[in-house]
Amino acid sequence: MMPPGLVSNLQEALLNRKGAQPKQEQEESKDNVEPVEAEIDPSKPILLITNSDGVDSPGLTHLVEALVHEGLYNVHFCVPQSDKSVSGHSVTLRETVEASSANVGGATGFEISGTPVDCVSLALSGALFSWSKPILVISGINRGSSCGHHVFYSGVVAGAREALLWGVPSLSISLNWKKDESQETDFKDAAAVCLPLINAAIRDIEKETFPKSCFLNIEIPTSPLSNKGFKLTKQSLWRSTPNWLAVSTNRYPAGHFLANQQAGLGIQFAQLGRDASAAGAARRLTTQKKNLEIVESIGAAGKSDSKRVKKYFRLEFLDKQQEDTDDDDLDYRALESGYVAVIPLSLSPHIENDIQIAASDWISTVLPGEQ
């Protein structure tokens, strides 16, 4: 048990922190939160943009700028505050999610202290924006491809998948970024390459001829403007090898850990303890913006367990494992060959033949001459 006096001090510090309210006031005010009124031109359809690389991503900026420049849409975004590229289809439970207003590329929106799925779910819930449903959700542009089994790790693909779960048509877009070869201006070129497909999708959504049983994962080659055209492909079994590396305790001493996720209970108590002292009253816990090295809590009683063994590991992905096949209709083969790969993905683990045919028919209609 923690000493009653310390508990009282911590509670008082919590209430005195900037923006904090007593529990009763919080409960009274939570029902008074109104969705944000953004400028809406009723003559234009609404687009929602999300991503997994975070609010500062050049892929987001160039995509939003390109769509705003079109002048055809109400463009809004809801994106993670920080990089959530490999968050998969994860959501935030039992923790408060913060939404902060922001401006990117001439559009208004929010940065969220959560995952891409949180962003899409919150945006479509009606609790954040005044509008109820966009015509299309676009997730991207991601730094790095999302072919093959990477769709299961990918936060950018998960954002588009979540939109489909809500019944909203969606696209996910990734650039096949290569270290020492790619540059940030490639995102601008990637956005330009995608615009015809985005415009065609919106036009056919309005006509109710866009495929409803899947979303489209768009993979852009490393040199976007040198692409060979759009090619409808199938999801492959392509993957990188996960490799866990043991990390030396000399680099990360016992009692410390790296955290780039949302603050846990131990971190919050550490911050409250600092706020409760006069010397540390001005220090604030900042999360989601950068990696923080935090002293790990050793328990309420203040005693460490000498019998516990602690080890430290970091995950990296090694060279790609490619399928030994001559099938040129697989996503990674088309991408490496210089095509813009378009992969229809459903909520089922396997694309049914009728879904593949429907997506193929639509692609051939809006992009004549493409494969």
Q: Of 341, 347, 346, 348, whose CA–CA distance to 363 is shortest? A: 341
Q: Identify whether the C-beta of residue 227 lies closer than 8 Å to the C-beta of residue 193.
A: yes
Candidates 3.30.1130.10, 1.10.1740.10, 3.40.1210.10, 3.40.50.740; correct CATH number of 46-239+328-348? 3.40.1210.10
Helix (H, G, I), strand (E, B) or coil at 198: helix
Tell me how crowded residue 354 is: count the other CB atoms within 10 A of its CB.
9
Question: Who's near 356: CB < 8 A, 6+ residues apart?
Answer: 234, 344
Q: Cα–Cα distance between 12 and 16 in angstroms, integer?
A: 6
Q: Rounded distance, CA 214 to CA 44, Å? A: 24
Q: Left if phi > 0, otherwise alpha if psi is -120 to 50, otherwise beta: which for 28?
A: alpha
Residue 363: predicted pLDDT: 84
What number of CA atoms fall less than 13 Å from residue 284's CA on the CB side? 7
Q: Please say whether the beta carbons of 194 and 224 come within 8 A.
A: no
What's the confidence (pLDDT) of residue 6? 47
Which runs of E-coded beta strand occur in the chain?
A: 46-50, 74-80, 99-104, 107-112, 136-143, 170-175, 215-220, 230-232, 239-246, 256-259, 292-295, 313-321, 340-345
pLDDT, tens digit only, all 371 positions of the chain: 445 554 455 455 445 544 444 444 444 444 455 665 567 888 999 999 999 999 999 999 999 999 999 999 999 999 999 999 889 999 999 999 999 999 999 999 999 999 999 999 999 999 999 987 999 999 999 999 998 888 888 999 999 999 999 999 999 999 999 988 999 999 999 999 999 999 999 999 999 999 988 999 999 999 999 999 999 998 888 778 888 999 886 655 444 444 443 333 333 333 333 333 333 333 333 443 333 333 333 344 455 567 888 889 998 887 665 655 677 789 989 999 999 999 999 887 565 677 778 888 888 888 876 66
Q: What CA–CA distance (Å, rounded) separates 233 from 114?
A: 31
Pull the structure tokens for residue 286: 């900042």
pLDDT for the residue 1: 47
